[in-house]
Amino acid sequence: MRVSVLACLAAIGVLCSFSPIASAGTKLLVKTRTYEISGTTGVALVAAMDRNGPKHGFMT
């Protein structure tokens, strides 16, 4: 059993080593946007950030 598991792991390792490297010409674009917030307490500042800040999918 141990030999067959090791043989399977070795076969998977060999097959993975021959897979082509993903080279899709990826480009990275970074944009920095600022926004104003105001508040006198921590809760007010967090609420202002939630209202005015960036929207990221499920985190909105």
Q: How far apart are CA 32 and CA 49, in angstroms?
A: 15
Residue 6 included in any domain: no
Looking at per-residue pLDDT, the higher value among 52 and 19 belongs to: 52
pLDDT of residue 10: 84
Split into its structural domains, the chain has a count of 1
DSSP letter string, 1-60: -HHHHHHHHHHHHHHHHTSPP------------------SSHHHHHHHHHHHS---GGG-
Residue 43 included in any domain: yes
Average pLDDT, the chain: 80
Residue 33 included in any domain: yes
Residue 48 included in any domain: yes
- Identify the domain containing residue 35 by its residue range: 27-54
pLDDT of residue 22: 63
Q: Give this prediction's pTM.
A: 0.42
Q: What is the number of other CB atoms lying within 10 angstroms of the CB of residue 48?
A: 15
pLDDT of residue 43: 94
Largest CA distance in the chain: 67
